[in-house]
Amino acid sequence: MPTSFQQLVYAATRTIPRGRVATYKLLADHIGCRSCRAVGQALKRNPDAPRVPCHRVIASDGTLGGFQGRCAGAALRRKTYLLAAEGVRFSHGRLADPRRLFRFA
DNA sequence: CACCGATGTCCAA
DNA sequence: TTGGACATCGGTG
């Protein structure tokens, strides 16, 4: 069962609209956590994959970061594909349009 | 209680 | 500009 912190992270992640991406830092800042890693940890566990669009969360530098507990390989490729399907284009493993970054209310 | 983890930022070369 | 090391928060062993 997810902890209070995880529920917070999942709630924030769910807030990300389709076709838009957020960063671990933004999520952490939004929930009031100074540790971006804790956010990634919570997403990594991701008990509800379709419910929590963890693929919409990338690193602050525009990299994909990780996916399904992997920081490279087909997992990242799938993440890029999912984002591309939503209109978010990636170039060479990097976000092509930083304006696609979602800004929390 | 101690170590690891889907990061970020700073310092040095 | 690129690479390496440290800092920070939470989870799990």
The answer, yes or no, to whether residue A102 has pLDDT greater than 80, is yes
Give the helix ranges, DSSP H, for A16-98. 24-31, 36-45, 74-85
* Domains (range + CATH), chain A: 4-97 (1.10.10.10)
Give yes or no for CB of A5 within 7 Å of strand C.
Answer: yes
Active site residue A54: yes
Instruction: Answer for A62: CB within 7 Å of strand B.
Output: no
Each residue's pLDDT tens digit, A46-93: 767 778 999 999 999 999 999 988 888 888 999 999 999 999 999 988
Band (A2; pLDDT cuts 50, 70, 90):
confident
User: Who contacts A1 (Cβ-Cβ below 8 Å, separation ≥6)?
Assistant: none
pTM: 0.93
Asked if residues A16 and A24 have their Cβ atoms less than 8 Å apart, the reply is no
